[in-house]
C-alpha cells in the first residue's frame, strides 16, 4: 500500500471524531498524503486558506493514523502551491541525484564463493530465494548467528546478485552502526530529508548487525519508519543479527514483531566437512599452486573451526609460514603445519596431558562408565551409545596423552582412518559446548582418570 492509500484507510476512523461533519466533508475528506519528511507525513490541501482551519485537527488525526498503522508520525499540512514551491521541486532535484548513490556492496562476497553445508544450507537457500525474487517471497529475511559464520557474506551476495541481474535496482548495504552514524550526521548538518529520500527510495535494504541499533532510541524510531515505508511498498529488507529477534535486548517490541513477520533463519558453526570444503574453496580463490596434504586440511578443519573467520585466519597463517620458512618446500605436509601452529595449538592441547596414562586405561575407564566392554569400543558397531563412548575415548586419548597423532589414535581404535578420529574429537568438543549433561559425563570420566 502506498502512503495515500494508508491515509485514505484512516478517513472512516477520523470522520466520527471531528465535531463538525461539514469541516470533515469540506476540508479533511480530500486531503492528500504526499510524502514523508523526517518523522512527518506531509498532507496537502488545495487552498492556503484551508490550512488554518484544518491545522487544529492535525494532532488528533495523527493519533488516529498512528494507532491504525502502528507508527509514530506527526502530520504537517501545506497548500498545494506551497508544497510545489517548497518541497516537490527539491524532491525532483534530489531524485535526479539518486543514481549517484553508492550501494556499499563488497563485490568479493557472492553466492559462487559461499560454500554450502548443513550448518548454513537454510540461510543460503533463503538468501538465494530473496535475491532471485526480491520483495515477493520473504521480507524481512532475518539471519542470525554467532560472529564470523557468513552473515555479512550472504547479505552482500544477495545485493550483488540483484545488481548483476538488474544494475538499475537500488540496493543499499549498511551496518546498523553506519545507519545510526548517517542519521546522526544528517540531523547535525540539516540533511535529514536527503537521508530519508536515500533510504525510502531503495528497492532492497540490507542491514547488518541490527543489534547495535537496539539501544539508540531515536535511530531505532527512524529505522522503524523507514522499515514500515519499505514494507508498505513491497520492497525487500534483509537484516542480520548476532541473536534471534526475541533476544534483542533494548529493541522495541513493535520492531521485534516486524522482524518476525517474515522469515527467520540461523547459521551454525560449520561441521567438519563444510570447514574442509571452505578451506578448499579459499585455496582455489587464493590460487595456491603447491599441494597441501589432506591431513593438513583435516587438521585445520578440526582444530580451528569455531567460526569461518578462524578457519580463514589459520589458512592465512599457514600460507604465510610457508612463504617465510618453507620457500624450498614443494608442498605442505602435517609436520610442517604443526610447526606453523606450534604456539596456538600445542599449548592448548598439552594443558591436561598426563604422561603416565595409557590408551587401554582410557578405553577401560570409558567402557566401564558406559557399561560397555573395551572390545565394543574397538568394534565397528554403529550402535549409538557405543559410538558416543568410542568418540569420547578417542577425544580423551588425544587430550590426555601427549604426542598421539590422529593417525596413531586411529590405529589404536581398530585401524580407523585419521579423519574419523578428527571428526570424533570435533564432535565431542561441539557436544560439550551445547549439552551440559554430556560435558558433565566427559568431565567425570576425566576425573576418574586423574
Ligand X SMILES: Nc1ncnc2c1ncn2[C@@H]1O[C@H](COP(=O)(O)OP(=O)(O)OP(=O)(O)O)[C@@H](O)[C@H]1O
- Residue stretches of the annotated binding site for ATP: 148, 150-152
Chosen residue from 77, 142, 151, 295 binding ligand X by CB under 6 A: 151
Instruction: Give the CA count within 13 Å in the CB-facing half-sphere of 372.
Output: 23
Chosen residue from 18, 31, 77, 149 binding ligand X by CB under 6 A: 149
Rounding to the nearest 10 degrees, give the CA dihedral for residues 111, 112, 116, 120.
-20
In this structure, the number of other CB atoms found within 10 A of the CB of residue 258 comes to 21
**Closer residue to ligand X, CB minimum distance, 281 or 411:** 281
Which cell goes with 10? Answer: 484512516
**Closer residue to ligand X, CB minimum distance, 8 or 113:** 113
Backbone angles phi, psi at 232, to 5 degrees: -60, -30
**Closer residue to ligand X, CB minimum distance, 149 or 397:** 149
Chosen residue from 35, 71, 127, 145 binding ligand X by CB under 6 A: 145
**Cβ(45)–Cβ(54) under 8 Å?**
yes
Q: What is the DSSP letter of 337?
A: H
- In whole angstroms, the minimum distance from the beta carbon of 245 to ligand X comes to 16
Q: Which residues contact 357 (CB under 8 A, 6 or more apart)?
A: 400, 401, 449
Please tell me whether residue 242 binds ligand X under the rule CB under 6 A.
yes
Assign 76 to helix, strand or coil: strand
**Cβ(128)–Cβ(249) under 8 Å?**
no
Q: Kindly report the CA angle at 306 between 300 and 307, in degrees rounded to 5?
A: 95
**Angle between helical axes of 384-400 and 359-369 (0-180°, round to 10):** 140
Task: Give the binding-site size for ligand X (rule: CB under 6 A).
Answer: 20
- In whole angstroms, the minimum distance from the beta carbon of 151 to ligand X comes to 4
Q: Looking at residues 413 to 442 of the shown chain, list those that interact with ligand X (rule: CB under 6 A).
A: none
Please tell me whether residue 159 binds ligand X under the rule CB under 6 A.
no
- In whole angstroms, the minimum distance from the beta carbon of 311 to ligand X comes to 8
**Cβ(260)–Cβ(104) under 8 Å?**
no
Q: Looking at residues 302 to 331 of the shown chain, list those that interact with ligand X (rule: CB under 6 A).
A: 308-309, 312
Chosen residue from 140, 150, 262, 410 binding ligand X by CB under 6 A: 150
**Closer residue to ligand X, CB minimum distance, 284 or 333:** 284
The H-assigned helical ranges of 75-120 are 80-83, 89-97
Backbone angles phi, psi at 75, to 5 degrees: -110, 135
Chosen residue from 36, 73, 114, 304 binding ligand X by CB under 6 A: 114
Rounding to the nearest 10 degrees, give the CA dihedral for residues 134, 139, 144, 149.
0
- In whole angstroms, the minimum distance from the beta carbon of 280 to ligand X comes to 10
Please tell me whether residue 148 binds ligand X under the rule CB under 6 A.
yes
Chosen residue from 115, 158, 197, 441 binding ligand X by CB under 6 A: 115
The DSSP string of 195-220 is: HHHHHHT-SEEEEE-GGGGTT-HHHH
Please tell me whether residue 141 binds ligand X under the rule CB under 6 A.
no
**Closer residue to ligand X, CB minimum distance, 115 or 255:** 115
- In whole angstroms, the minimum distance from the beta carbon of 288 to ligand X comes to 16
Please tell me whether residue 278 binds ligand X under the rule CB under 6 A.
yes
**Closer residue to ligand X, CB minimum distance, 109 or 224:** 109
Q: Which stretch binds ligand X (CB under 6 A): 127-135, 151-159, 177-185, 435-443?
A: 151-159
Q: Kindly report the CA angle at 262 between 247 and 113, in degrees rounded to 5?
A: 90
Closest by CA position to 117, among listed 264, 265, 295, 276: 276
Binding region: 148, 150-152
Q: Which stretch binds ligand X (CB under 6 A): 39-47, 50-58, 149-157, 248-256?
A: 149-157
**Closer residue to ligand X, CB minimum distance, 49 or 320:** 320
Contacts with ligand X, residue ranges (CB under 6 A)? 109, 113-115, 120, 145, 147-153, 209, 242, 278, 281, 308-309, 312
Amino acid at each position: 500500500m502506498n502512503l495515500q492509500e494508508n491515509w485514505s484507510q484512516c478517513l472512516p476512523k477520523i470522520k466520527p471524531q471531528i465535531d463538525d461533519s461539514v469541516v470533515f466533508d469540506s476540508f479533511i475528506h480530500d486531503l492528500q498524503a504526499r510524502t514523508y519528511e523526517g518523522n512527518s507525513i506531509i498532507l496537502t490541501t488545495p487552498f492556503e486558506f484551508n490550512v488554518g482551519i484544518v491545522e487544529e485537527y492535525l494532532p488528533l488525526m495523527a493519533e488516529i493514523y498512528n494507532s491504525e498503522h502502528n507508527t509514530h508520525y506527526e502530520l504537517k499540512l501545506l497548500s498545494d502551491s506551497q508544497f510545489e514551491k517548497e518541497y516537490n521541486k527539491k524532491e525532483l532535484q534530489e531524485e535526479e541525484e539518486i543514481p549517484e548513490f553508492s550501494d556499499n556492496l563488497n563485490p568479493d562476497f557472492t553466492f559462487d564463493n559461499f560454500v554450502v553445508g548443513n550448518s548454513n544450507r537454510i540461510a543460503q537457500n533463503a538468501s538465494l530465494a530473496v535475491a532471485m525474487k526480491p520483495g515477493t517471497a520473504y521480507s524481512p529475511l532475518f539471519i542470525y548467528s554467532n560472529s564470523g559464520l557468513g552473515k555479512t557474506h550472504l547479505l552482500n551476495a544477495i545485493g550483488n546478485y540483484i545488481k548483476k541481474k538488474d544494475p538499475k535496482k537500488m540496493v543499499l548495504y549498511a551496518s546498523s552502526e553506519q545507519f545510526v552514524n548517517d542519521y546522526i550526521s544528517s540531523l547535525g548538518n540539516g540533511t535529514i530529508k536527503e537521508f530519508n529520500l536515500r533510504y525510502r527510495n531503495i528497492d532492497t535494504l540490507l542491514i547488518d548487525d541490527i543489534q547495535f541499533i537496539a539501544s539508540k532510541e531515536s535511530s531505532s524510531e527512524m529505522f522503524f519508519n523507514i522499515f514500515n515505508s519499505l514494507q508498505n511498498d513491497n520492497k525487500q529488507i534483509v537484516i542480520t543479527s548476532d541473536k534471534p529477534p526475541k533476544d534483542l535486548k533494548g529493541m522495541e517490541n513493535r520492531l521485534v514483531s516486524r522482524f518476525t513477520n517474515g522469515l527467520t533463519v540461523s547459521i551454525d558453526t560449520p561441521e567438519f566437512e563444510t570447514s574442509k570444503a571452505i578451506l578448499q574453496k579459499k585455496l582455489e580463490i587464493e590460487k595456491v599452486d603447491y599441494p597441501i596434504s589432506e591431513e593438513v586440511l583435516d587438521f585445520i578443519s578440526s582444530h580451528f573451526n569455531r567460526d569461518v573467520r578462524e578457519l580463514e585466519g589459520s589458512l592465512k597463517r599457514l600460507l604465510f609460514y610457508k612463504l617465510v620458512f618453507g620457500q624450498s618446500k614443494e608442498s605442505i605436509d602435517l609436520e610442517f603445519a604443526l610447526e606453523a601452529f606450534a604456539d596456538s595449538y600445542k599449548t592448548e592441547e598439552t594443558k591436561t596431558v598426563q604422561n603416565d596414562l595409557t590408551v587401554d586405561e582410557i578405553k577401560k575407564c570409558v567402557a566401564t562408565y558406559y557399561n560397555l566392554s573395551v572390545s565394543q569400543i574397538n568394534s565397528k558397531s554403529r550402535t549409538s551409545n557405543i559410538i558416543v563412548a568410542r568418540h569420547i575415548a578417542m577425544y580423551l586419548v588425544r587430550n590426555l596423552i601427549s604426542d598421539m597423532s590422529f593417525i596413531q589414535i586411529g590405529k589404536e581404535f581398530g585401524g580407523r582412518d585419521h579423519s574419523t578420529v578428527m571428526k570424533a574429537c570435533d564432535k565431542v568438543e561441539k557436544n560439550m559446548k551445547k549439552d551440559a549433561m554430556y560435558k558433565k559425563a566427559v568431565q567425570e570420566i576425566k576425573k576418574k582418570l586423574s
